[in-house]
């Protein structure tokens, strides 16, 4: 499996997890299970709660070379790529995004989310949780000061029969964990590559030679599930470990026909697999659709390699076509299957990239640095009105200048789509109140 590093030298298999230490000393006994409410327009009919596929572009994707090209800017800002027309008159994407351009009527692009956390650790945390880090966070830090979107979705929505409620593939984002909600709400990580001909989710199928009768033995089950990987075992073993929950989940996964069907990507017609692209990311997008179809409320597709400090144009010319093609295939497939109206697809990273192209020390070819003053986020599905751009950056892509929005607004929008009230106040195991989102105002243009 490929290992992408960002500028801090951290690989996606490195794991947090400063914040998991706060799990010690308590569980969820003092938290009340609250009922999720369906989201809808103010005064309008409620929509059914959606499920979510969050595509995390780790490293900070450039807005210039994706959803916010600047053809009228000076050459050192506009870069090598040309803008292309989309299906919606007046909306342009960058040249290596033709398949998404062809379905722009199904997309909403937000160009005006910005924040003040210009390094990977802090930016990741802010966008994944809606909570700014409470202390300075280094570029390569793995932090969890607040529950992530996926963990809150798992806690609020619950799991379908036989499957976890929150998946992350092929690894967990550095701030994608549960914090005080507890390890039960950490993601189930599918590290294996569904593009491999021998793909199977490790320790989900019964091992060869183990009969059903023996499997029902608690002793045999515990020996099997000891190998069970919910989160990155090497770096983030849960200090309090709700082992009975792990055993139950392991048992359900290994005996559930629904779980086995969801993981069986080999059963898909070859034409469908080719439409997603025969790449690791493309086949994970297909597996995400299968998990959503099985009732999983939240799936994160983690894609590294977006930290383009150098050789940005050659790098993106290789990376963008299979990536954007897989997302387009996912959206079209969801629509064909009648799932797009109840599935939110979101693509983003921790920030955008600097307006001026430069060759920084240590790089031989030019690129763009971190830039939190501007970024682009793609939304589709779950009642999101398509064919629109929300907000704008200035002529040179330096900063958001119209409809300026925050990570809190982004996260509140996702929660509303999922039928979760972002204004809720949780209590930590030690009795402290914790706002789910400090500003629970969603992006109204996306609510539909």
- Average of pLDDT values for 172-193? 94
Tell me if residue 37 falls in helix, strand or coil.
coil
260 is a domain residue: yes
Residue 10 has pLDDT above 90, yes or no: no
What pLDDT, on a 0 to 100 scale, did the predictor assign at position 108? 98
What pLDDT, on a 0 to 100 scale, did the predictor assign at position 359? 95
Percent of the chain with pLDDT over 90: 71
205 is a domain residue: yes
What pLDDT, on a 0 to 100 scale, did the predictor assign at position 260? 87
- Average of pLDDT values for 389-402? 98
For residues 127, 422, 405, 120, the Cα torsion angle rounded to the nearest 10 degrees is -10
pLDDT level of residue 144 (50, 70, 90 thresholds): confident
Residue 138 has pLDDT above 60, yes or no: yes
25 is a domain residue: no
Instruction: Write out the H or E segment, with its range, that includes residue 107.
Output: strand 107-110
CA neighbor of 136 nearest in space, from 119, 149, 159: 119
Containing structural domain, residue 315: 31-446
What pLDDT, on a 0 to 100 scale, did the predictor assign at position 222? 55
Instruction: Confirm if 110 and 442 have CB atoms less than 8 A apart.
Output: no
What pLDDT, on a 0 to 100 scale, did the predictor assign at position 207? 53
7 is a domain residue: no
67 is a domain residue: yes
pLDDT level of residue 236 (50, 70, 90 thresholds): very low
pLDDT tens column, 37-53 = 333 444 455 778 999 99
- Average of pLDDT values for 197-205? 78
4 is a domain residue: no
Instruction: Confirm if 24 and 180 have CB atoms less than 8 A apart.
Output: no
Average pLDDT, the chain: 85
Strands (DSSP E) found in 328-412: 343-348, 352-353, 370-371, 377-380, 388-390, 392-393, 400-402
Task: Say which residue the tokens 């005064």 belong to.
Answer: 43
Convert 23-62 to b/e letters by CB count within 10 Å (16 or more is b).
beebebeebeeeebeebbeeeeeebebbbbbbbbbbbbbb
What pLDDT, on a 0 to 100 scale, did the predictor assign at position 240? 44
What pLDDT, on a 0 to 100 scale, did the predictor assign at position 223? 55
Which of the 8 DSSP states describes residue 18? Answer: G
pLDDT level of residue 233 (50, 70, 90 thresholds): very low
| Lowest pLDDT segment from 14-18, 145-149, 377-381 | 14-18
List 41's β-bridge partners, or say none: none
In angstroms, rounded to a whole number, what is the distance separating the alpha carbons of residues 348 and 374? 12
Alpha carbon of residue 416 to chain centroid: 16
Q: How many domains does the chain have?
A: 1
pLDDT tens column, 28-86 = 333 222 333 333 444 455 778 999 999 999 999 999 999 999 999 999 999 999 999 99
CA neighbor of 68 nearest in space, from 358, 434, 400, 302: 400
20 is a domain residue: no
In angstroms, rounded to a whole number, what is the distance separating the alpha carbons of residues 199 and 297? 23
Sequence-ordered list of residues with C-beta below 8 angstroms from that of 215, at least 6 positions apart, any chain: 206, 221, 224, 254, 255
Residue 19 has pLDDT above 70, yes or no: no
pLDDT tens column, 249-285 = 666 777 778 888 899 999 999 999 999 999 999 999 9
Q: Is the peptide bond before 17 cis (omega within 30 degrees of 0)?
A: yes
What pLDDT, on a 0 to 100 scale, did the predictor assign at position 227? 54
What pLDDT, on a 0 to 100 scale, did the predictor assign at position 235? 41
Percent of the chain with pLDDT over 70: 77
What pLDDT, on a 0 to 100 scale, did the predictor assign at position 7? 73
Length of the chain: 448
CA neighbor of 229 nearest in space, from 239, 238, 216, 217: 238
110 or 144, higher pLDDT: 110
User: ∠255-261-262 over CA atoms, to 5°?
Assistant: 105
pLDDT level of residue 239 (50, 70, 90 thresholds): very low
Residue 388 has pLDDT above 80, yes or no: yes
CATH number of the domain that residue 170 is part of: 3.40.720.10
215 or 270, higher pLDDT: 270
What pLDDT, on a 0 to 100 scale, did the predictor assign at position 257? 83
If you compute the radius of gyration of the chain from its CA atoms, what whole number of angstroms results?
A: 21
15 is a domain residue: no
pLDDT level of residue 234 (50, 70, 90 thresholds): very low
Q: What is the reported pTM?
A: 0.85
pLDDT tens column, 307-343 = 999 999 999 999 999 999 999 999 999 999 999 999 9
């Amino acid at each position: 499996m490929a290992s992408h590093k960002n500028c801090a030298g951290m690989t996606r298999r490195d794991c947090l997890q400063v914040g998991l230490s706060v799990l010690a000393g308590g569980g969820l006994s003092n938290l009340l299970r609250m009922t999720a409410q369906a989201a809808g327009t103010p005064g309008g009919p409620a929509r059914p709660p959606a499920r979510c596929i969050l595509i995390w572009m780790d490293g900070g994707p450039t807005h210039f070379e994706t959803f916010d090209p600047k053809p009228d800017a000076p050459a050192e800002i506009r870069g090598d790529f040309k803008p292309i027309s989309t299906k919606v008159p007046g909306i342009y994407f960058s040249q290596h995004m033709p398949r998404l351009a062809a379905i722009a009527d199904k997309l909403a692009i937000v160009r005006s989310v910005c924040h003040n956390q210009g390094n990977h650790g802090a930016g990741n945390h802010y966008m994944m949780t809606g909570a700014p880090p409470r202390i300075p966070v280094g570029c390569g830090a793995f932090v969890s000061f607040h529950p992530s979107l996926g963990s809150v979705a798992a806690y609020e929505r619950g799991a379908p029969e036989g499957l976890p409620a929150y998946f992350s593939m092929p690894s967990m984002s550095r701030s994608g964990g549960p914090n005080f909600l507890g390890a039960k709400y950490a993601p189930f990580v599918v590290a294996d590559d569904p593009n491999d001909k021998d793909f199977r989710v490790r320790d989900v199928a019964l091992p060869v030679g183990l009969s059903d009768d023996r499997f029902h033995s608690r002793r045999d089950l515990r020996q099997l599930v000891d190998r069970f990987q919910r989160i990155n075992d090497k770096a983030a073993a849960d200090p309090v470990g709700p082992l009975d929950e792990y055993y139950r989940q392991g048992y359900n996964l290994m005996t559930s026909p629904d779980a086995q069907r969801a993981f069986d990507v080999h059963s898909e017609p070859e034409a469908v697999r080719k439409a997603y692209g025969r790449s690791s990311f493309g086949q994970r997008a297909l597996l995400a659709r299968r998990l959503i179809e099985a009732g999983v409320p939240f799936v994160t597709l983690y894609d590294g390699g977006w930290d383009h400090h150098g050789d940005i144009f050659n790098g993106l010319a290789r990376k963008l076509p299979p990536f954007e093609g897989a997302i387009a295939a996912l959206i079209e497939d969801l629509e064909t299957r009648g799932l797009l109206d109840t599935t939110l697809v979101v693509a983003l990273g921790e920030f955008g990239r600097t307006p001026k192209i430069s060759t920084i020390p240590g790089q031989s070819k030019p690129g763009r640095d971190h830039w939190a003053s501007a970024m682009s986020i793609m939304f589709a599905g779950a009642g999101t009105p398509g064919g629109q751009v929300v907000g704008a950056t200035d002529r040179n892509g330096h900063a958001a200048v119209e409809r300026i929005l925050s990570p809190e607004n982004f996260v509140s929008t996702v929660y509303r789509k999922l039928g979760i009230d972002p204004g809720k106040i949780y209590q930590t195991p030690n009795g402290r109140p914790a706002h789910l989102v400090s500003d629970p105002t969603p992006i109204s243009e996306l609510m539909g």
